[in-house]
Amino acid sequence: MIKDSDIEKFATVIYYQNLPEAERMLLRLQQYVNGEYVEGVFNALKGICSAVRFQDKSSVIMKIYGNYNPKKIDKLIAKIQMSLNREFISSYEKGYFEAWLQILKTFKKLVEK
């Protein structure tokens, strides 16, 4: 199981722009992928690493990466919360969106320090 503390550490490493450490964490976390929910969590983290590595300007992470605006983060949190509140949501999607929600909340905490 990928723990909340793992996601928070990952988010912190991404926030401080340490991609090599984030990728090492991802390799360690891969062993815990078992089931749709955890696969969703893992793929959210993996997608963030990939977007940062390849500087994918169309990705959500690259819209805020290095310029963490609390208002922009709040808007993203609200959108993700709406996705989580849909009537029909798969276990995979729930894991994916909950990981993103935790990542964004961690970014917000770090910005407000």
Closest CA to 65 of 2, 5, 13: 13
50 burial (CB, 10 Å; 0-12 / 13-18 / 19+) is middle
Predicted confidence (pLDDT) per residue in 33-77, tens digit: 999 999 999 999 999 999 999 999 999 899 898 888 999 999 999
* pLDDT band, very low/low/confident/very high, at 88 (cuts 50, 70, 90): very high
pLDDT at position 3 over 90: yes
Closest CA to 44 of 82, 92, 108, 85: 92
Q: Residue 96 is encoded by which pair of tokens?
A: 């994916």
In angstroms, what CA-CA distances link 52 with 8, 18, 28, 42, 89? 17, 10, 19, 16, 27
pLDDT at position 30 over 90: yes
What count of other Cβ atoms lies within 10 Å of the Cβ of residue 91?
Answer: 13
- Domain residue extents for the chain: 4-111
